Structure 1
Amino acid sequence: MSEPLQYITLTAPDGEIIGYAWTDGTQLGLVDRAASSSAAYKAGIAWSNRMQDAHRRGLTPAGVLALFSHEPGASPVTEAADMAALEELARIVTPADDQRLLDQLAPAGHPSWRELAEAYDALTDEDRDVTWGGGEKSPSGAIQMPYPVYSEPLRRVVRALNEVGAVTPEHRWMDNPMPEVPADGRLMTAADAVRAATAVVRGERFSEGTIAHAVKDGLLDAVVASLRAWAAAQGSTAGPAPSAPAAPAPAHPTAPSVPSAPTAATTGPARSAPAPVAAAPAAVCRHCGGFPAVNVAFRAHLGLLFFLRFRRMDGPVCRTCGLALHRGFTTYTLCWGWWSPLSLVLFGWLTLVRNLLAVRRVERLPEPGPAVTGGRFDPGVPVHRRPLAYVALIPLCWVLTLIVAAVSGGG
């Protein structure tokens, strides 16, 4: 896809960027950040489901973005050069992403760090030599699938990685490439070590031999060395960090700093790129999607002897929809809101006053922009031009008649 895209940035309440909802005019999709948390990933699914539901109900893809761009956690609609630029933007890893993984690690001084150090230091070359079992043919003719045979000391190291918190669901390893060992001998950052440990240990469940490969190419050594160095810097009892033959590359791709709009792919790290701050959400009409809107409530009341009924419709509403609700609900109340003692004395009047206060706020709004969802109400004629509104004169005249009769009789 090379055509210009429109997109909105979706942000969690804590400021974490969930991903980018986009449209090219015909399709609607969501590019989520591979470095985001598990909670942000679930929130992205919820956003996507709601947007797709709005699209299935007849709203155009552009209309969906325009509507949802005014919700809390969404930015205004922005244009991207193409899908590649948007995907590059989604690859950015922020310091908050790294810190979230560091928060999963055991605190300094926890016994699990000493266990990791002792387990790793006890490894021998024989322990690292992973053999394979299986492959035999049974009498029935079935061939057993090969499987790695790990030594108990190596299993102890893997268990220790779990205990220090280096294997965590907060790193979505399936959505990120398997880390590789660089040739420059650098230690990894602690966050990258968590990413690598998670990918290796959890990857073993889906592809047997992942741990064996990490032992062979030095990735496991780099992970443990980097984690122990971090723990030592935090003041733990992990002991001195062993020298690693090499350290793996970051478990996530690099990406450029966050631009105001995505541009063509560039090279260079962007680990410290700040997360864009979502704009303060503006209210849009819940009925037509128009802007501006104000958050008010209109009410209607029916009173028939001892039967009372109340109806309320909350905003936000634009000027047009607000006037329509006011005129419809107020006319209904003027017609049906007087035919019980409580309605005549209290509820009818209270409903009319509340509607009057709400419509005064609506009338201060300018005319709204185009209806995004196509469901804008028709205000119709004013209340004083609706015949049903004058039904209220019947109970009022009756009350006045009683008052006059009472005064005359008392005199």
Structure 2
Amino acid sequence: MSNPNPVHYVPLTAPDGELAGYIWADAAAVGWFHRPAGSSSAYRTAEEWHDRARELHGRGLAPRGVLSMLSREPGVGPVTEAPDVAAIEELARVVTPADDRRLLDGLDRDNADAWRELGDAFDALTDEDRDIKWGGGQKRADGVQHVAYPLYSEGLRRVVSALEGVGAVSGEYRWMGNPMPDLPPDGRLSPADAIRAATTTVRGERVCDGMIADAVKDGLLDAIVASLRAWYAEQPSAAPGNMCRFCGGSPAADVTFRAHRGLVILMGFKKTDGPMCFTCGLAVYRAYTTHTLCQGWWSPLSLFVFAPLTLVRNLLAVRRVKRLPAPGPGTLGPRYDPGVPVHRRPRAYVALVPALWVLFMIVTGLSGAV
């Protein structure tokens, strides 16, 4: 059975290819839906097309004729039938991967200081910071009622400022036209939803006191910061902003440490590279260097080539690590324990065996030549 009151629509595309919204028409009216998750420029595009549709309809063109006319224009798709207007509105509310990428592109991934400040500020929050008191609310003698307002601590204000500093409060997200992202049962937000939640919370506080207080109380603030820190830890960035591949702390240096095992018949090579903080990098250096000093000598090539080369490379790499300051709080997991220095590890002194053997051979050779 055909729909007695058909509704049709055309999709609208911004100049950069982003889906901007939909113009719809039924038997009597012309309307539009912009995409709430779209960019500001896409919203303006959809608005301009809606103005154009209203103009055509105002000139006496039938609603379906308006769609037919618009569908001939660049940036407007073909006329399509829908069950009802609600179905078109549902289409407009679809969030695409491109919407997520646009928000993530607004994060200042290269500002290591801003991300470090976010981690430090959040980790410094105390129970007292989270126990938010309210001021105002009293009724004066003349009958005027004061409006209650939250009393945020300096520590909590510091976290909010840090969210703005990393770009998590986005001008590209029209929070008033979108619902607050739901916090999943596991308490984990996607990075894009963390930006949406941060934007709604921080900007919403300016028009509705208590948005930040609610986010603290229900765990949303914790989920926002955790998601953003985890996202940043996965980003390849410039050297000063690198985060340690093991603990997520920063700063970190992009280095490579190697270990070598030389046997009479077989040789083994191992390396670990990537950004490492001072603590984790020192731990890897000491472990790999001790391994090489213990097991890296037991073949001619290992003795004279591979083991010495490995030790020299590690020394050059650890110099870069030792120039780093102590790392900030980690975001990925526990930090490696460097343990005692190499010269205090008994296994490292196994290297004296081949060294003494070489010295013995040299002395024996010189004695025989006399």
| Shared fold per TM-score greater than 0.5 | yes
Partner of 1:132: 134
CA separation of 1:120 and 1:2: change in aligned 2, threshold 3 A? farther
Separation in structure 2 between the aligned mates of residue 173 and residue 78 of structure 1, nearest angstrom: 30
Deviations along 1:181-236, one digit per CA (max 9) or x if unpaired, are 22124x32211111110111111111110100000000000000000000011144
Separation in structure 2 between the aligned mates of residue 79 and residue 228 of structure 1, nearest angstrom: 44
Partner of 2:63: 61
Deviations along 1:80-106, one digit per CA (max 9) or x if unpaired, are 121222122112211111110011100
Give the Å deviation of 1:176: 1.1
Give the Å deviation of 1:53: 1.4
CA separation of 1:124 and 1:242: change in aligned 2, threshold 3 A? farther
Which one-letter code corresponds to 2:19 in the other structure? I
Give the Å deviation of 1:2: 8.8
3-state secondary structure, aligned to 1:79: strand
The answer as to 2:315 corresponding to 1:225 is: no
Partner of 1:115: 117
3-state secondary structure, aligned to 2:81: strand
Separation in structure 2 between the aligned mates of residue 166 and residue 22 of structure 1, nearest angstrom: 34
Equivalence map 1:4-403=2 (5 Å): 4-185=6-187, 187-235=188-236, 236-237=242-243, 239=249, 240-241=330-331
Q: Does structure 2 retain, via aligned residues, the 8 Å contact 1:108–1:234?
A: no
TM-score (ref. length: structure 1): 0.57
Deviations along 1:39-59, one digit per CA (max 9) or x if unpaired, are 111221111111111111111
Q: Does structure 2 retain, via aligned residues, the 8 Å contact 1:108–1:231?
A: no
Q: Does structure 2 retain, via aligned residues, the 8 Å contact 1:9–1:20?
A: yes
Separation in structure 1 between the aligned mates of residue 91 and residue 59 of structure 2, nearest angstrom: 30
Deviations along 1:232-276, one digit per CA (max 9) or x if unpaired, are 111444733379xxxxxxxxxxxxxxxxxxxxxxxxxxxxxxxxx
Q: Does structure 2 retain, via aligned residues, the 8 Å contact 1:2–1:82?
A: no
CA separation of 1:111 and 1:2: change in aligned 2, threshold 3 A? farther
3-state secondary structure, aligned to 1:41: helix
Give the Å deviation of 1:122: 0.3
Separation in structure 2 between the aligned mates of residue 155 and residue 114 of structure 1, nearest angstrom: 16
Separation in structure 2 between the aligned mates of residue 13 and residue 42 of structure 1, nearest angstrom: 11
TM-score (ref. length: structure 2): 0.63
Which one-letter code corresponds to 1:49 in the other structure? D
Q: Does structure 2 retain, via aligned residues, the 8 Å contact 1:225–1:242?
A: no
Q: Does structure 1 retain, via aligned residues, the 8 Å contact 2:183–2:189?
A: no
Which one-letter code corresponds to 2:129 in the other structure? D
Which one-letter code corresponds to 2:35 in the other structure? R
Which runs of structure 1 show a deviation greater than 6 angstroms over 4 or more consecutive aligned residues? none
Separation in structure 2 between the aligned mates of residue 122 and residue 141 of structure 1, nearest angstrom: 42
Higher relative contact order (CA 8 A, sep 6+): 1
Separation in structure 1 between the aligned mates of residue 48 and residue 230 of structure 2, nearest angstrom: 39
Q: How many residues align?
A: 242
Which one-letter code corresponds to 2:136 in the other structure? G
Give the Å deviation of 1:137: 2.4
Which one-letter code corresponds to 1:216 in the other structure? K
Separation in structure 2 between the aligned mates of residue 70 and residue 225 of structure 1, nearest angstrom: 48
Q: Does structure 2 retain, via aligned residues, the 8 Å contact 1:112–1:160?
A: yes
CA separation of 1:124 and 1:74: change in aligned 2, threshold 3 A? same
Which one-letter code corresponds to 1:203 in the other structure? G
Give the Å deviation of 1:141: 2.6
Which one-letter code corresponds to 1:191 in the other structure? A
Separation in structure 2 between the aligned mates of residue 206 and residue 36 of structure 1, nearest angstrom: 23
Deviations along 1:110-166, one digit per CA (max 9) or x if unpaired, are 311000000000000100111100012234331110001100000000000001000
Separation in structure 2 between the aligned mates of residue 148 and residue 215 of structure 1, nearest angstrom: 12
What residue ranges of structure 1 are gaps of 5+ in the alignment? Answer: 244-411
Give the Å deviation of 1:69: 0.8
Separation in structure 2 between the aligned mates of residue 50 and residue 57 of structure 1, nearest angstrom: 11
Q: Does structure 1 retain, via aligned residues, the 8 Å contact 2:149–2:209?
A: yes
Which one-letter code corresponds to 1:193 in the other structure? A
Deviations along 1:322-348, one digit per CA (max 9) or x if unpaired, are xxxxxxxxxxxxxxxxxxxxxxxxxxx
3-state secondary structure, aligned to 2:331: coil
Deviations along 1:327-383, one digit per CA (max 9) or x if unpaired, are xxxxxxxxxxxxxxxxxxxxxxxxxxxxxxxxxxxxxxxxxxxxxxxxxxxxxxxxx
Bigger helix fraction: 2
CA separation of 1:2 and 1:196: change in aligned 2, threshold 3 A? farther
